[in-house]
Amino acid sequence: MKISRKFAIIAAAAAALMAGAANAADKLVIGTDSTYPPFEYLDSSGQFLGFDMDIGRALCAEMKVECTFVSQEWDGIIPALQAKKFDMILSSMSITPERQKLVDFTDKIYNTPPAIAVAKDSAIKSLDDLKGKTLGAQTSTTHSNYAEKHLPDATLKLYPTSDEYKLDMSNGRIDAVIDDIVVLKQWTDSKDGSCCKILQPLEVDPVINGEGAGIAVRKGDDALREKLNKAIAAIRADGTYKKIQDKYFDFDVYGK
C-alpha cells in the first residue's frame, strides 16, 4: 500500500512537471524595437502594430501558441535575446553573416533594398553629391554599415532610433538619410516627412544587407527555428501572408 501511494505521488509530480513544460512551450515572448513603422510601432494606447507584428501574430496562430510582444531598444536587442528576456526577435532584422555568428535565423520574412532620402529642395541629385554632406542613419543597422562602406565621402551621423534622424532631417540639421526604402517611402509620403523625397534606391550589398529580414532565435534553438519556418511556409501557402502584405504595401515585399 505504501509503495503504491509513493508511486502515485511520483507520477503526479512528473505529470505536473510535464504540464508546466507544455504550458511554457505554448507561450512565447517576442522582442521588437517598436520604433520602425510600417514594420513595427506602437499606437497611442501602447498596442503593437505593423507588418512584422501582424506576421508574428499569424505565425503564433499557425503554431497554436500564445505570444506576447515586448519593446527593446535596438542596440541591446541581441544581448537581450541571449539573456533570455524573450524567445525571438521579430524586428526587421536583416540576415547577415555578422549576426549569424551571434544568433540563428529563420527563413526570410521580407526583402527590400536600402535607399537615400533628401530634402525636396536639396542640391543633392546623385550619390556623388553626398561628398562632404551629413548622412543620418540608425546605429547598429545594415544601413549604417552600408554607408560606412559605400558612401565614405559622406559624414555619417548615427541615431538610436529612426524617429530621431527623421526629426533632424525635417529640421534641416542633416542633409540626407539612409534606411529601408519602405520605411523612407512611408515617411516621405506622410505629413511628417513632407519635407523630403527618395533620392534613389541603392544596389543591395549581399554581405551587408544579407538575404532579407528574418526572425532571430538563440543559437542552437533549432526546435523553435524549425517550427517558425514551417509556420512561415504555411502562411505563405494559404494566403495569410499576402493578406497582411496587401494591408501595408502595394507590391511584393517578400522580394526575390
Give percent of the chain above pLDDT 70.
Answer: 90
Q: Where in the chain is the domain with CATH 3.40.190.10?
A: 2-111+211-248, 114-201
pLDDT digits (tens, 9 = 90+) for 144-193: 999 999 999 999 999 999 999 999 999 999 999 999 999 999 999 999 99
What average pLDDT does the chain have? 91
- CA gap 154, 215 in Å, rounded: 32
Q: What's the confidence (pLDDT) of residue 28?
A: 98
Mean pLDDT computed over 122-133: 97
Q: What's the confidence (pLDDT) of residue 9?
A: 44
CATH architecture, range 2-111+211-248: 3-Layer(aba) Sandwich (3.40)
Q: Cell 544601413 maps to which residue?
A: 143
In what side-by-side order are the strands of the sheet with 134-138?
Answer: 155-159, 134-138, 176-180, 114-119, 196-201
- CA gap 222, 226 in Å, rounded: 6
CB-based burial, 126-150: b 16+ in 10 Å, e otherwise: ebebbeebbbbbbbbbbbbbbbeee
Residue 106 identity (one-letter amino acid):
T
Residue 4 has pLDDT above 50, yes or no: no
Residue 8 has pLDDT above 70, yes or no: no
Residue 18 has pLDDT above 60, yes or no: no
Confidence of residue 13 (pLDDT cuts 50, 70, 90): very low
**Cβ distance 200 to 116 under 8 Å?**
yes
Q: CATH homologous superfamily for 114-201?
A: Periplasmic binding protein-like II (3.40.190.10)
Q: What is the pTM of this model?
A: 0.79
Residue 10 has pLDDT above 80, yes or no: no
Mean pLDDT computed over 209-231: 96
